[in-house]
Chains A and B, each alone.
Chain A
Amino acid sequence: MKRNVKIRIAYISIYVFFLVVSFILGYNPGKEIAFNFISFLLYMLKILPCAFILIGLFEVWVKKEVIEKHLGEESGIKGYAWVILLAGTIAGGLLVAFPIAYSLHNKGAKLSIVFTYIGAAAICRIPMTLYEASFMGVKFTAIRLLVSLPLVIVTSILLGNYLSKRNYKMAEGK
């Protein structure tokens, strides 16, 4: 067994042990932590399986050439527009954005586009933006989007170029 796996089993066991003991002794903080864990687990199970099925379909159906052409090294401004639109329509925030971004890169999307995707998935999902505006006002949401989105694009390009120069490779087989 690998060392990481052993460490993981160790802290998960301690965690579970702590929660079980908390329930037996009626220790409230432990109960609250268990409640947090379950509510977040349920929240993730609402989105994650769907996201991974869609990623699987994407990997099987979408040809590498298509992604390379529209989101690859030769793509221009349009590539950024496409990827922001894609990010805007997919639910789930960063949790889902990481595996999708990873698949996009494997299919030939360039790094700056991949980072733009992650940033855009965090800040400008369309349903979430409408929801935000209903609580915080349109002005607040508009300022946030108009300031953060250009910054996300510019920093993604800088980061992408920096990493390309250093021959950055993403982890394999995730």
Chain B
Amino acid sequence: MYYTYAITGLILLISFIINKQKTIKAVKIAVVKFKKIFPTFITMLILVSIILFLFPDEVISNYLGNSSKFISVLLASFIGSITLMPGFVAFPLSGILLTKGVPYMVLSAFTTTLMMVGIITFPLEKEYFGVKVTVIRNIVSFFIALIVAVITGILFGEIF
């Protein structure tokens, strides 16, 4: 991930060479914006740290390996909605669950809600877009994830 710093640094340097004043202004804007939102990030981190303690990988595996596919899909969507993990953790975990026999549709529900629905990111999203829009966007995303899961199930022959 250090390349993000390298690229950002390079862009910043180019900007600085072209226009010193504008670049300083840009950094000031960045600092002000970051400062304003930082407390919300801390709130979010506190939530993440507690939720991940309550739902470690083993617990997630247990829930997703439920005998009924449909219950598993629903559980997977709920767990995906309330947890937050970076893709580089989520996909290897899903890959392992796949080899353990967890259906594709369950993993689809899990990964899609994980990426699109953010109950933990709610405090952050709300700061920018307001409570109403945040609620609507998350509910809509939840249903999109369910639709994706059902179609995944049909195309992998797990439903019929």
| Chain A contacts to B: CB under 8 angstroms | 8, 11-12, 15, 29, 32-34, 36-37, 40-41, 43-44, 46-50, 52-57, 59-61, 91, 93-95, 98-99, 101-102, 115, 118-119, 122-123, 128, 131-132, 134-136, 139-140, 143-144, 147-148, 151-152, 155, 159, 163, 168, 170-171, 173-174
- What B residues does A33 contact at CB under 8 A? 49-50, 53
Expressed in whole angstroms, the Cα–Cα distance for A57 and B156 within the complex equals 45
Q: Footprint of A on B, CB under 8 Å?
A: 1-2, 4-5, 7-8, 11-12, 15, 22-23, 25-31, 33-34, 36-37, 39, 41-43, 45-46, 48-50, 52-53, 86-88, 91-92, 94-95, 98, 104, 107-108, 111-112, 115-116, 118, 121, 124-125, 127-130, 133, 136-137, 140-141, 144-145, 147-148, 151-152, 155-156
Q: How far is the CA of A12 from the CA of B147 in the complex (A)?
A: 38
User: Which listed residue (B5, B23, B98, B141) contacts A136, Cβ 8 A?
Assistant: B98
Q: Is the CB of A12 within 8 A of B46?
A: yes
Number of A-B contacts (CB under 8 A): 187
Say whether B26 contacts A56, CB under 8 Å. yes
Min C-beta distance of A63 to chain B, whole Å: 12
Among A8, A41, A102, point to the contact of B43 (Cβ < 8 A): A8
Residue from A46, A52, A95 with most neighbouring chain B CB atoms (10 Å):
A52
